């Protein structure tokens, strides 16, 4: 049966790879709606190729420009548009691959509309995991992870019971700076940080990988997706990115998922679940070529962003939302050349220290905390 897909973040790294998967299986998948920010140049050929019924852009200005290029396609904009793309009647699966916390309200609405959700956007679960999971439970909607680590855990768990899990073991490649000491991080450039050894990804997540905040966000994401306490989530350095994560069960069995480091693998699994399909555009994993797998203890002093994420996650309430907003803002400022790489962690730490925790924040509280935190970080920087 044809699955109709709404793809939020179509022009991004995950978005483009999702379209590669859709293109590969034209009889199974059809793009019903797509959303992007402002990048018309990148979006236009995609709109022409996939002919979605609905296109959503970030703002009115982009909408006007796009209207001059295409007709016969409905164009909406802003948060309202993202929500419409998520709840539209024909849509079966919403792939949430926008960058940052803008994806949150649309995710909640998609769940309420009982759509299947393929979730790449980790900021959504980090800022409002308690709301998202409660809605998913209430509406009996499956959240299918796209992030490779969570796809690995999901497959390793394969429906086993929560009580049988001893721990989740999340692997981390270490990012662009894994072999540098803290001293050597002083003065690293944006280009250095954007040069990831194993994965090709969007700018923000590549910086998050270098700072290890990406792993921190993934720990919080795993906590919510699999309902496992932070004490039972373990992070280990594994430079080859061949094992994407593991689950150790109470009986000492450890199940790992291995695969070529290519995001199309977990993206397609989220789309075909519970079935599988030939992913002919991706290389097979060649273990003889890989030859050795390395593992190393994670150093929390070396990677303070990971430590802060564990702490914010354990504290709960509004703390993860503050962690995420401060990080999004600081990374943006780093990408714009306004602060140094090591400043990122400094501004996050400051934001967490200044914040008075709110227990169980609702959606509007989370949104205002998000805005306030970003404002404060910008204020500190200027």
Where do contacts with ligand NDP occur on this chain (CB under 6 A)? 9-15, 35-39, 42, 58, 97-99, 102, 120-123, 147, 199, 201-202, 204-205, 263
- Which residue number, 212 or 380, has a Cβ lying nearer to ligand NDP? 212
- Which residue number, 135 or 221, has a Cβ lying nearer to ligand NDP? 221
Q: How far is the CB of 123 from Mg ion (least distance, A)?
A: 13
- Which residue number, 267 or 308, has a Cβ lying nearer to ligand NDP? 267
Q: Which residue is nearest to ligand NDP (CB)?
A: 12
Backbone phi and psi for residue 258, each to the nearest 5 degrees, phi listed first: -115, 155
Query: What Cα–Cα distance (Å) separates residue 211 from each residue in 174, 194, 217, 377?
Result: 9, 11, 11, 18
d(CA 221, CA 241): 19
User: Which residues would be at the binding site for Mg ion (CB under 5 A)?
Assistant: 147-149
Q: How far is the CB of 330 from ligand NDP (least distance, A)?
A: 15
12 marked as binding residue? yes
- Encoding tokens for residue 282? 């991706």
- Which residue number, 86 or 171, has a Cβ lying nearer to Mg ion? 171
d(CA 329, CA 374): 6
328 marked as binding residue? no
d(CA 256, CA 245): 6
327 marked as binding residue? no
Q: In what order do the strands lie in the sheet with 165-172?
A: 254-258, 243-249, 165-172, 233-237, 296-297
| Contacts of 210 by beta carbon, 8 Å cutoff, 6+ apart | 175, 176, 177, 193, 196, 341
Give which of ligand NDP, Mg ion, none residue 370 binds (C-beta under 5 to 8 Å, depending on kind). Answer: none
Query: What Cα–Cα distance (Å) separates residue 304 from each residue in 106, 122, 315?
Result: 32, 19, 16
Q: How far is the CB of 99 from ligand NDP (least distance, A)?
A: 4
Q: How far is the CB of 8 from ligand NDP (least distance, A)?
A: 6
Backbone phi and psi for residue 207, each to the nearest 5 degrees, phi listed first: -65, -45
Residue ranges of the annotated binding site for 1-deoxy-D-xylulose 5-phosphate are 122, 148-149, 173, 196, 209, 214-215, 218
Residues annotated within the binding site for Mn(2+) are 147, 149, 218
**Positions at the binding site for NADPH:** 11-14, 37-39, 121, 123, 202
């Amino acid at each position: 049966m044809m699955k109709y897909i709404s793809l939020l973040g179509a022009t991004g790294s995950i978005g483009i790879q999702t379209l590669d998967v859709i293109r590969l299986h034209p009889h199974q998948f059809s793009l019903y709606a797509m959303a992007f920010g402002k990048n018309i140049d990148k979006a236009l050929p995609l709109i022409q190729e996939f002919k979605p019924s609905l296109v959503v852009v970030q703002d009115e200005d982009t909408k006007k420009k796009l209207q001059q290029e295409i007709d016969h396609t409905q164009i909406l904009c802003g948060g309202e548009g993202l929500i419409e793309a998520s709840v539209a009647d024909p849509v079966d699966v919403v792939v949430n691959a926008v960058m940052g916390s803008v994806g949150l309200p649309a995710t909640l609405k998609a769940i309420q509309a009982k759509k299947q959700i393929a979730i790449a956007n980790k900021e959504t679960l980090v800022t409002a995991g308690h709301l998202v999971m409660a809605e998913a439970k209430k509406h009996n909607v499956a959240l299918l992870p796209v992030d490779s680590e969570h796809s690995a855990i999901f497959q390793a768990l394969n429906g086993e019971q929560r009580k049988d899990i001893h721990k989740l073991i999340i692997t981390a490649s270490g990012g662009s700076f894994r072999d540098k000491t803290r001293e050597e991080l002083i003065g690293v450039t944006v280009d250095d940080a954007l040069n990831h050894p194993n994965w090709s990804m969007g700018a923000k997540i590549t910086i998050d990988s270098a700072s290890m905040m990406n792993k921190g966000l993934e720990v919080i994401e795993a906590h919510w997706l699999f309902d496992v306490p932070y004490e039972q989530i373990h992070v280990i350095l594994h430079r080859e990115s061949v094992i994407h994560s593991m689950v150790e069960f109470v009986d000492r069995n450890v199940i790992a998922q291995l695969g070529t480091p290519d995001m199309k693998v977990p993206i397609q699994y989220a789309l075909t679940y519970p079935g599988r399909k030939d992913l002919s555009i991706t290389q097979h994993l060649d273990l003889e070529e890989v030859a050795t797998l390395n593992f190393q203890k994670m150093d929390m002093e070396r990677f303070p962003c990971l430590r802060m994420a564990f702490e914010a996650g354990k504290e709960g309430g509004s703390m993860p939302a503050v962690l995420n907003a401060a990080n999004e803002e600081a990374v943006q400022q780093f990408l714009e050349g306004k602060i140094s790489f090591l400043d990122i962690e400094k501004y996050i730490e400051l934001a967490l220290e200044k914040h008075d925790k709110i227990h169980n924040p609702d959606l509007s509280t989370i949104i205002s905390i998000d805005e306030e935190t970003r404002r404060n970080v910008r204020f500190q920087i200027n």
